[in-house]
C-alpha cells in the first residue's frame, strides 16, 4: 500500500491535522491537494501547538517530503510567513523538504478584496467564508484568467497576466463599491515573494508519481471536508475546491488507480463554521458543552463553530462519495460527562423516512428533512489515557462500535485527546486494509 488519501467526512475541522501527523510517521511524502489558507490544521506535539494553513500536516516529521499540489490556491505572503514561523520555532529544514507545484494558482490581493466585499454586501448571499480569497481565486482559474505559481519565474509575463486579471475583475470590484488595487504594488510584492518561492517550485505530478513508482509511501492530505466540496457539498454553502478523495488525484497530478486506501475522518459529533444547512445543530446546553469542551472555535478565523449531534446519513454519504475504506473517529473525549448521546440515524421527509442524506432537500425551508435520533448511553470517566478499545468505558465502546456498524466503514483509529499519544490506533492504512464490519 503506497498512496493513502485522508479526507474530512463532515464540514471540515474533523482533526485532519492530528491524524495526518500521526500516520505520516510512516510516510515518505505528504501532499496537500486542495484548498488554500482557508484551512487550519492543528498539530499538538509535546507542549507545542502549531496551526498549519498551507503547509501539509506532515511538516513536523523530519525526513518527510512535503508537497503543495496543483489543486491548491496559494497566498504567497501566507506561505512565506508560515515557513518563517516554523523556522523560528526551530524547524530549520522546512524549505529543504518543501516543493510547491508550479501549476498551483496564486491568491492575489484582489481575490481577498472581492471575497471580503461580497461577504459584506447586501446584494450577495453571504456564505460565511474565511475571507482568504479562495472563491475568487478558483473563479479566476475556471475562467482562465488565473495566475499560476510558475509564472513567478518570469516577472514580465506575470505583469501582463495580472493586468488581464485586473481588467476582468474591474467591473466586479466597482460594482461592489471597492477601489481598484494598485498594479505596481501587487507586482512589487510578488517580485519579493518570487525570490523566496521560485526555488521551491517543481513539477509535483512527476514527483508524486515517481515516489509511488519507487514504492515510497505517499499521504494525500485533504482540507475542508466532504460537505464543503464544490460538487458534493451543501451547495452553494461550500468552498470552491474538490475536497473529496477524487480531488486527490486531480490536485496532486496522479491517476486515480494509484490510490490504494481512502481514510475518512469524523468527529464523534458534528461542527460547521459559516452559513448553510446543519440539520443536527444544537442550540442548547448540549451544544454549548460540545463547543466549550471541544474548544470549537475556528483555527483560522476564531469564529465559534456551530455544534450538533453526529449525522450518520451524512457519514454514509461521505463514505459513498469518497469511497471510504477506513474511518478515524476523533474527539470522543469531548462527549465525556454527557448523560446521553443522540445520533441521527435517518431523516423524515415528505417522501417518507430515508436513511440516505437528502442533501438537496436540506435547505427546503417549507419541508425541511427532520432528523430521526437514536439515543445511546453516556459515560463520566475521562478517556484521554485509553490506548486500546478495552480501556474505554463500556458506553463509549458501544458508541464507537455503533458508528462503525452504521457507517459500514472499518474503524482504524479513535482519537481521545488533541495530543499525538492520546490515540487508539487499530490499523495502519499503509500496511493493508481491514475487513468491513
Catalytic residues: 13, 41
Of 351, 368, 352, the residue nearest 360 (C-alpha):
368
C-alpha to C-alpha distance for 13 and 3, rounded to whole angstroms: 22
Residue 13 makes contact with Mg ion by CB under 5 A? yes
CB 266 within 8 A of CB 327: yes
Q: Return the one option of ligand GDP, Mg ion, ligand IMO, none that residue 128 interacts with (CB less than 5 to 8 A, by type).
A: ligand IMO
Binding test (CB under 6 A) with ligand IMO, winner from 13, 82, 140, 260:
13
Q: Mask of contacts with ligand IMO, 377-406, x by CB under 6 A? A: ------------------------------
CA dihedral sign of residues 130, 133, 136, 140: negative
By CB under 6 A, how many residues form the interface with ligand GDP? 22
Cβ-count burial 316-343 (b if 16+ within 10 Å, e if not): bbbbebbbbbbbbbbbbbbbbebeebbb
Range in contact with ligand IMO (rule: CB under 6 A) among 116-124, 166-174, 221-229, 380-388: 221-229
C-alpha to C-alpha distance for 308 and 369, rounded to whole angstroms: 16
Instruction: Write out the H or E segment, with its range, that includes residue 315.
Output: helix 312-322
Residue with cell 487550519: 40
CB 265 within 8 A of CB 156: no
Residue 8 makes contact with ligand IMO by CB under 6 A? yes
Q: Mask of contacts with ligand IMO, 91-130, x by CB under 6 A? A: ------------------------------------xxxx
C-alpha to C-alpha distance for 125 and 215, rounded to whole angstroms: 47
CB count within 10 Å of CB 431 equals 10
Residue with cell 481588467: 167
Range in contact with ligand GDP (rule: CB under 6 A) among 5-13, 188-196, 250-258, 390-398: 5-13
Q: Choose between 205 and 301: whose C-beta lies nearer to ligand IMO.
A: 301
What separation in angstroms does the CA of 382 have from each of 307, 332, 386, 390? Answer: 21, 10, 9, 14
The partner residues of 297 in beta bridges, in order of sequence, read: 304
What separation in angstroms does the CA of 216 have from each of 27, 219, 436? Answer: 8, 10, 26
Residue 32 makes contact with ligand GDP by CB under 6 A? no
The distance of closest approach from Cβ of residue 41 to ligand GDP in the complex, given in angstroms and rounded to an integer, is: 3
Of 432, 408, 252, the residue nearest 320 (C-alpha):
408
C-alpha to C-alpha distance for 54 and 104, rounded to whole angstroms: 12
Q: Choose between 208 and 223: whose C-beta lies nearer to ligand IMO.
A: 223
Q: Choose between 207 and 416: whose C-beta lies nearer to ligand GDP.
A: 416
Q: Return the one option of ligand IMO, Mg ion, ligand GDP, none that residue 136 interacts with (CB less than 5 to 8 A, by type).
A: none
Binding test (CB under 6 A) with ligand IMO, winner from 69, 150, 225, 410:
225
Quick one: angle between helices 134-142 and 155-175, nearest 10? 110
The distance of closest approach from Cβ of residue 37 to ligand IMO in the complex, given in angstroms and rounded to an integer, is: 9
Residue 56 makes contact with ligand GDP by CB under 6 A? no
The distance of closest approach from Cβ of residue 225 to ligand GDP in the complex, given in angstroms and rounded to an integer, is: 8
Q: Choose between 2 and 242: whose C-beta lies nearer to ligand GDP.
A: 242
Cα(first)–Cα(last) distance of the chain, in Å?
Answer: 21
Cis check for the bond before 293: say yes or no (omega within 30 of 0).
no
Residue 14 makes contact with ligand GDP by CB under 6 A? yes
* Residue nearest to ligand IMO as judged by C-beta position: 274
Residue 415 makes contact with ligand IMO by CB under 6 A? no
By CB under 6 A, how many residues form the interface with ligand IMO? 24
The distance of closest approach from Cβ of residue 125 to ligand GDP in the complex, given in angstroms and rounded to an integer, is: 25
The distance of closest approach from Cβ of residue 56 to ligand IMO in the complex, given in angstroms and rounded to an integer, is: 12
Q: What is the DSSP string of 146-189?
A: --BGGGGG-HHHHHHHHHHHHHHHHHHHHHTTPPPPPHHHHHHH
Q: Choose between 230 and 396: whose C-beta lies nearer to ligand IMO.
A: 230
Binding test (CB under 5 A) with Mg ion, winner from 8, 35, 37, 40:
40
Binding test (CB under 6 A) with ligand IMO, winner from 32, 41, 148, 342:
41
| Site of interaction with ligand GDP (CB under 6 A) | 8, 12-18, 40-42, 44, 295, 299, 330-331, 333-334, 415-418
| Site of interaction with Mg ion (CB under 5 A) | 13, 40, 299
| Site of interaction with ligand IMO (CB under 6 A) | 8, 11-13, 16, 38-41, 127-130, 132, 134-135, 223-225, 228, 239-240, 273-274
Amino acid at each position: 500500500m503506497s498512496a493513502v488519501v485522508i479526507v474530512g467526512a463532515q464540514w471540515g475541522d474533523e482533526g485532519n491535522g492530528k491524524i495526518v501527523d500521526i500516520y505520516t510517521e510512516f510516510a515518505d511524502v505528504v501532499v496537500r491537494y486542495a484548498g488554500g489558507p482557508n484551512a487550519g490544521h492543528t498539530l499538538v506535539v509535546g507542549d507545542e501547538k502549531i496551526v498549519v494553513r498551507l503547509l501539509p500536516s506532515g511538516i513536523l516529521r523530519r525526513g518527510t517530503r512535503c508537497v503543495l499540489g496543483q489543486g491548491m490556491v496559494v497566498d504567497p505572503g501566507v506561505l512565506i510567513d508560515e515557513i518563517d514561523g516554523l523556522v523560528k520555532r526551530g524547524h530549520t529544514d522546512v524549505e529543504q523538504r518543501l516543493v510547491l507545484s508550479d501549476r498551483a494558482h496564486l491568491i492575489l490581493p484582489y481575490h481577498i478584496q472581492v471575497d471580503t466585499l461580497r461577504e459584506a454586501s447586501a446584494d450577495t448571499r453571504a456564505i460565511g467564508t474565511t475571507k482568504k480569497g479562495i472563491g475568487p481565486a478558483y473563479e479566476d482559474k475556471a475562467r482562465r484568467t488565473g495566475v499560476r505559481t510558475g509564472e513567478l519565474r518570469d516577472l514580465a509575463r506575470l505583469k501582463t497576466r495580472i493586468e488581464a486579471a485586473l481588467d476582468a475583475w474591474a467591473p466586479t470590484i466597482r460594482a461592489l463599491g471597492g477601489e481598484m488595487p494598485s498594479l505596481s504594488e501587487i507586482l512589487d510584492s510578488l517580485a519579493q515573494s518570487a525570490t523566496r518561492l521560485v526555488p521551491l517550485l517543481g513539477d509535483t505530478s512527476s514527483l508524486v508519481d515517481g515516489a509511488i513508482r519507487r514504492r515510497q509511501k505517499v499521504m494525500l492530505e485533504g482540507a475542508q471536508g466532504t460537505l464543503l466540496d464544490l460538487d458534493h457539498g451543501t451547495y452553494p454553502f461550500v468552498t470552491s475546491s474538490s475536497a473529496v478523495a477524487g480531488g486527490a488525484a486531480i490536485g496532486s497530478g496522479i491517476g486515480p488507480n494509484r490510490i490504494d486506501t481512502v481514510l475518512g475522518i469524523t468527529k464523534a459529533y458534528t461542527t460547521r463554521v459559516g452559513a448553510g444547512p446543519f440539520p443536527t445543530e444544537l442550540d442548547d446546553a448540549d451544544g454549548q458543552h460540545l463547543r466549550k469542551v471541544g474548544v470549537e472555535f475556528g483555527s483560522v478565523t476564531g469564529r465559534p463553530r456551530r455544534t450538533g449531534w453526529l449525522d450518520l446519513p451524512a457519514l454514509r454519504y461521505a463514505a459513498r462519495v469518497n469511497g471510504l475504506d477506513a474511518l478515524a473517529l476523533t474527539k470522543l473525549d469531548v462527549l465525556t460527562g454527557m448523560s446521553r448521546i443522540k445520533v441521527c440515524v435517518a431523516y423524515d421527509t415528505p417522501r417518507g423516512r430515508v436513511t440516505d442524506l437528502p442533501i438537496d432537500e436540506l435547505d427546503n425551508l417549507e419541508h425541511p428533512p427532520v432528523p430521526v435520533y437514536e439515543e445511546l448511553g453516556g459515560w463520566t470517566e475521562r478517556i484521554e489515557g485509553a490506548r486500546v478499545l478495552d480501556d474505554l468505558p463500556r458506553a463509549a465502546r458501544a458508541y464507537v462500535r455503533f458508528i462503525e456498524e452504521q457507517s459500514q466503514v472499518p474503524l482504524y483509529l479513535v482519537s481521545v485527546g488533541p495530543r499525538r499519544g492520546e490515540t487508539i490506533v487499530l490499523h495502519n492504512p499503509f500496511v493493508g486494509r481491514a475487513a468491513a464490519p
